[in-house]
Chains A and B, each alone.
Chain A
Amino acid sequence: MTKRIVAALVGNPNSGKSSLFNMITGSHQHVGNYPGVTVERKEGYCTHDGYEIQFVDLPGTYSLTAYSAEEIITRRFILEEGPDVVVDVVDASNIERNLYLGTQLIEMGVPLVLAFNMSDLAKRRGLEFDLEQLSLLLEARIVPTVGNKGEGGDALLDAIVQTAGEGRKPRVHGLRYGSEIEEELARIESVVLQREKGLADKYGSRWVALKLLEQDDEILGRVQDQEVRGVVGKSVGHLRSLFRDEPEIVLADRRYGFISGACQETIRNSVERRHDASDIVDALVTNRVLGLPIFLVLMYAVFWLTFTLGEYPMKGLEWVFTWLAASVSGLWPLGSDSWLRSLLVDGVIAGVGGVVVFLPNILLLFLAIAMLEDTGYMARAAFVMDRIMHKIGLHGKSFIPMLIGFGCSVPAIMAARILENRRNQLTTIMVIPLMSCGARLTIYSLIIPAFFAPHWRGPVMWLVYLIGILLAVICAKLLRLTVFRGETMPFVMELPPYRMPTPKSVLIHMWQRGWMFLRKAGTVILGISVVLWALASFPKPGAEQLAGLSEEQAQQASLEYSVIGRVGRFVEPVIRPLGFDWRIGTALIGAVAAKEVFVSQLSIVYAAGSEDDTDVLRERLQANYTPLVGFCIMLFSLISTPCMATLAMTRQETNSWGWAAFQFVGLTGLAYGITLAVYQVGRLWM
């Protein structure tokens, strides 16, 4: 029987933790979310020496205080789920800052293994380690690794198995914080042992005392006993007056002191540290004149890769689905009106197919994002855009998902994952649908030539896009002032050294995103497609009502008779003030499935024949509506009701149907209000 070991991977952002995780677990991975938050939970396993080692890749963090979601998740996992081993991934070329997290793990007393990652880089920088000595000082096994080259994996697994075998053992020296602090710690420890036995047993009295001295909100909140609180308050006050600083900061200082002491004895730096190459590149890409153009060129490249290059495999997938629809359809005799055939062809294949064709875009987009992140440019890009995005209350990185939104909202919402701050991520997701996506272009290209003279077509199109951008900016600002109120995170960010991304980690990243997307298409989107298909197909008119009608007229009659047709008529009084009639209403409801469905639905209600020949439809539109109505159709389609795939993605990324509903209702309401105003005011002139 194999024995199981649970190992938690922790480390600073940019410590190469993910590449080490990928190297060890390969494709045996599972990505999910922590309940209630959008922080990713990655798990994977491997077998070694008859053990099955399960790895949990915890979010990258600098510290284990209780200030950010990442820190809280990491800390809770270690404290509550009690992994057998904690592996702290340390960037060996940058030991001091990285070991800070390690000191906090030592304080927790967990069985600890240190992976000195990127040790090749450290060697090239002239750093020489006395690992044996350092390991004695830190009381933990240290294994040099090179995550992106796959070195040191076996040694690391050996260390994990050995450390897990030993279990929790008391530390000989641990960390000392100086006599003044130790005295207060001892005082708190003894009162905690007496009066908060539960806490002390669970987490260790010394750690609880440390956290209380740091005024840690989470631990402080769990102390009921007034005497303990009193002792803590007195100690904090005493140290505050002694050091003229918060005890929390003094403790941080002492931890750094311990680290630099340990490093002085065990690390030799034979080469003067140089930042040259990296500094020159940084001077260029964060330059106040050149930074923005460089960023825009790179973004153009991302956009081009995603949508221009992605168009070819997309065409291929479209062809596959057309072929599939034709083959399935061929199983029934010609002209059959079997509802099962219609369900499979018009509901399932058309619905899921219409979304799965975006898979190449998703894969290419995340290829580009992985490259930007792994090279280290993303941090610079965030910085360059931050000045502009900050004004609307968003983070510099928000620009990337918003730009992708011009292609398709679905990958854009997924891309909002790059934002660490939950409020920023939610705000970005909410306004992404206002970036006019490619599917809406099909609506504009139907309407604009129908109502506007050739020399007006360009400007009108430009105006529609501009309105979308302006609304996104206004909405983001409003959301940040109301629903997602809160301080914008003060801007402090590490600029990691530039690195070459490895194909393996980029590919794994791409595959994970693609798989997530496919799973969504197979479940939620499939469900909604079938529902929308049923609404557009049932109830069916009787055969006598269709007798003597041409195929086009029969289609028209069926759609009118269906639930969607009826709802279209039902909502007519509501949308009349926008200049819309029931036909436009019906088409707009159909557009919830996918924006481009608007065009095909409209051509059915006008019995205007095939989609390829839009001229007939345009003539009918011209005969029935004014250019103002045409403009209002575009305006409403731009702002309103994101398509079901967008909503499903919002649900997935926010982990809540509530936010998806908020987006749906909010944007539809906004569309109604603005279109109403434009139509009513516009009518005065026309």
Chain B
Amino acid sequence: MSEAAVEQETIRPLSTVTSGDTVRLVCVRAGRGLNSRLASMGFVPNVEIRVVSNSHPGPFVVVIKDVKMVLGRGVAQKILIQ
């Protein structure tokens, strides 16, 4: 299996993670502004993200470094995790 295929399998958007799971951030695919804002709030590569709640169409709540944050679904789609 090629490397690209492996990546495709394991790297997915944060929005697909189910409640209660903890994942690792790979990168954020967004414009510079949002990218930098997220980075300053702790969304940096390899950080642990615990998904507290992911219920359609309810809130998307995560915990990073002990801080609880709520994300828009659009934002959650731009965050890629492993």
B44 vs chain A, min Cβ distance (A): 4
B47 vs chain A, min Cβ distance (A): 7
B60 vs chain A, min Cβ distance (A): 9
Report A-chain residues with C-beta under 8 Å of the C-beta of B41: 62, 97, 492, 494
Q: Which of B47, B63, B75 contacts A491 (CB 8 A)?
A: B75
Q: Would A282 and B61 count as touching, CB distance under 8 A? A: yes
Q: Would A490 and B74 count as touching, CB distance under 8 A? A: yes
Q: Would B67 and A97 count as touching, CB distance under 8 A? A: yes
Q: Would A493 and B70 count as touching, CB distance under 8 A? A: yes
Convert A278-301 into 0s and 1s, putting 1 for each residue whose CB lies closer than 8 angstroms to a CB of B: 110011001110000000000000
Q: Would A253 and B33 count as touching, CB distance under 8 A? A: no
Q: Would A256 and B44 count as touching, CB distance under 8 A? A: yes
- CA of A275 to CA of B52, assembled, Å: 10
| Chain A stretch 247-273: residues in CB contact (< 8 A) with chain B | 248-249, 252-253, 256, 273
Whether, in the assembled complex, B82 has its beta carbon less than 8 Å from a beta carbon of chain A, the answer is: no
Question: Chain A: interface residue count, which band?
Answer: 35 or more
Q: Would A96 and B66 count as touching, CB distance under 8 A? A: yes
| Chain B stretch 23-82: residues in CB contact (< 8 A) with chain A | 27-28, 30, 32-42, 44-47, 52-53, 55, 57-59, 61, 63-72, 74-75
Q: Would B57 and A288 count as touching, CB distance under 8 A? A: yes
Convert A83-110 into 0s and 1s, putting 1 for each residue whose CB lies closer than 8 angstroms to a CB of B: 0000000000110110011000000000
- CA of A387 to CA of B68, assembled, Å: 19
Q: Which residue on chain B has the smallest CB distance to residue A490?
A: B75
- CA of A386 to CA of B72, assembled, Å: 9
Q: Which residue on chain A has the smallest CB distance to residue B45?
A: A253
Q: Which residue on chain B has the smallest CB distance to residue A386?
A: B72
Most chain B CB within 10 A, of A93, A253, A256, A278, is at A256
| Chain B stretch 9-35: residues in CB contact (< 8 A) with chain A | 27-28, 30, 32-35
Q: Would A491 and B37 count as touching, CB distance under 8 A? A: no
Q: Would B70 and A491 count as touching, CB distance under 8 A? A: yes
Q: Which of B27, B32, B38, B53 contacts A492 (CB 8 A)?
A: B38
Q: Would A256 and B72 count as touching, CB distance under 8 A? A: no
Q: Would A492 and B75 count as touching, CB distance under 8 A? A: yes
A383 in contact with B40 given A490-B72, A492-B75 (CB within 8 Å)? no
Report B-chain residues with C-beta under 8 Å of the C-beta of A383: 59, 70
Q: Would A94 and B71 count as touching, CB distance under 8 A? A: no
Q: Would A94 and B67 count as touching, CB distance under 8 A? A: yes
| Chain A stretch 486-502: residues in CB contact (< 8 A) with chain B | 490-495, 497
Q: Which of B34, B35, B66 contacts A94 (CB 8 A)?
A: B66
Q: Would B42 and A256 count as touching, CB distance under 8 A? A: yes
Q: Which residue on chain B has the smallest CB distance to residue A384?
A: B59
Q: Would B35 and A249 count as touching, CB distance under 8 A? A: yes
Q: Which residue on chain B has the smallest CB distance to residue A64?
A: B40
Q: Which residue on chain B has the smallest CB distance to residue A100?
A: B40
Report A-chain residues with C-beta under 8 Å of the C-beta of B71: 491-492
Number of interface residues of B (CB under 8 A): 37
- CA of A616 to CA of B39, assembled, Å: 69
A288 in contact with B67 given A491-B75, A494-B41 (CB within 8 Å)? no
Q: Which residue on chain A has the smallest CB distance to residue B33?
A: A67
Q: Which of A246, A252, A288, A490 contacts B55 (CB 8 A)?
A: A288
A267 vs chain B, min Cβ distance (A): 12
Q: Which residue on chain B has the smallest CB distance to residue A283?
A: B53
Q: Would B37 and A67 count as touching, CB distance under 8 A? A: yes
A59 vs chain B, min Cβ distance (A): 14
Report B-chain residues with C-beta under 8 Å of the C-beta of A387: 57
Report A-chain residues with C-beta under 8 Å of the C-beta of B39: 63, 248-249, 252-253
Whether, in the assembled complex, A148 has its beta carbon less than 8 Å from a beta carbon of chain B, the answer is: no
- CA of A294 to CA of B46, assembled, Å: 37
Q: Which of A101, A215, A252, A495 contacts B68 (CB 8 A)?
A: A495
- CA of A282 to CA of B59, assembled, Å: 10
Q: Would A275 and B36 count as touching, CB distance under 8 A? A: no
Q: Which residue on chain A has the smallest CB distance to residue B65?
A: A96
Report B-chain residues with C-beta under 8 Å of the C-beta of A273: 66
Q: Would A63 and B55 count as touching, CB distance under 8 A? A: no
B11 vs chain A, min Cβ distance (A): 13
Q: Would B35 and A286 count as touching, CB distance under 8 A? A: no
Whether, in the assembled complex, A18 has its beta carbon less than 8 Å from a beta carbon of chain B, the answer is: no
Whether, in the assembled complex, A65 has its beta carbon less than 8 Å from a beta carbon of chain B, the answer is: yes
Report A-chain residues with C-beta under 8 Å of the C-beta of B72: 386, 490-492
Q: Which residue on chain B has the smallest CB distance to residue A251?
A: B39
Whether, in the assembled complex, A245 has its beta carbon less than 8 Å from a beta carbon of chain B, the answer is: yes
Q: Which residue on chain A has the smallest CB distance to residue B74?
A: A490
Report A-chain residues with C-beta under 8 Å of the C-beta of B38: 492
- CA of A252 to CA of B44, assembled, Å: 7
A475 vs chain B, min Cβ distance (A): 24
Q: Which of A63, A279, A282 contacts B36 (CB 8 A)?
A: A63
A116 vs chain B, min Cβ distance (A): 15
Q: Which of A62, A215, A282, A379 contacts B40 (CB 8 A)?
A: A62
Q: Would B34 and A495 count as touching, CB distance under 8 A? A: no
Q: Would B61 and A249 count as touching, CB distance under 8 A? A: no
Report B-chain residues with C-beta under 8 Å of the C-beta of A248: 32, 35-36, 39
Q: Would B36 and A67 count as touching, CB distance under 8 A? A: yes
Q: Which residue on chain A has the smallest CB distance to residue B79?
A: A492
Report A-chain residues with C-beta under 8 Å of the C-beta of B46: 253
Most chain A CB within 10 A, of B27, B40, B57, is at B40
- 20 A-B residue pairs with CB within 8 Å: A62-B37, A63-B36, A93-B66, A96-B42, A215-B32, A245-B27, A249-B27, A252-B39, A253-B45, A253-B46, A256-B47, A275-B68, A278-B68, A286-B70, A288-B59, A386-B72, A387-B57, A490-B72, A492-B34, A494-B41
Task: Kindly list 19 other residue pairs between chains A and B, CB separation below 8 angstroms, not including A246-B32, A492-B41, A494-B41.
Answer: A62-B37, A65-B40, A68-B37, A97-B42, A248-B36, A249-B28, A252-B40, A253-B44, A253-B45, A253-B46, A383-B59, A490-B75, A492-B38, A492-B69, A493-B69, A493-B70, A495-B61, A495-B68, A495-B70
Q: Which 4 A-B pairs have the closest CB atoms?
A: A491-B72, A63-B40, A252-B39, A288-B58
**Which residues of B are interface residues toward A (Cβ below 8 A)?**
27-28, 30, 32-42, 44-47, 52-53, 55, 57-59, 61, 63-72, 74-75
